[in-house]
Structure 1
């Protein structure tokens, strides 16, 4: 059980961190015209940045012996 938790902890934290960054980006920068594909909607921004966080967790999660 602990092994599974440790395995999923990093991707979950990176995904949540990315989602929070996406929310912050939408709140601070956003898209004033509404024509931007990613930043026009807060849901799109949160999902996109969450995906980026998950992908980054794979890069930073790999440990070499």
Structure 2
């Protein structure tokens, strides 16, 4: 794992966490029965996970011969 790939994944996690919290704040769950969006911690962690996975697409893997 190179330093560049770690930075890209880290940026994805941070952006995802911010997006997850903003989703909780502006959309959220009025009834409190939603598993992900009922609490800010759940929404933030889920956003961080999704951001890390999405930004992982942009990391180039080494070619194997």
TM-score between the two structures when normalised by the length of structure 2: 0.84
- Contact 2:13 2:52 survives alignment (8 Å): yes
Structure 2: which 5+ residue stretches go unaligned?
A: none
- Contact 2:5 2:59 survives alignment (8 Å): no
**Alpha-carbon distance in 2 for matches of 1:47, 1:59:** 19
Q: SS at the partner of 1:30?
A: coil
Question: What's the offset of the Cα at 1:58?
Answer: 1.4
Q: Pairwise mapping of residues 1-65 of structure 1 onto structure 2 (< 5 A)?
A: 4-62=2-60
TM-score between the two structures when normalised by the length of structure 1: 0.84
Structure 1: which 5+ residue stretches go unaligned?
A: none
Cα RMSD over matched residues? 2.1
Say which structure is richer in helix. 1
Structure 1 stretches of 4+ moved >4 Å: none
Question: What's the offset of the Cα at 1:4?
Answer: 4.2
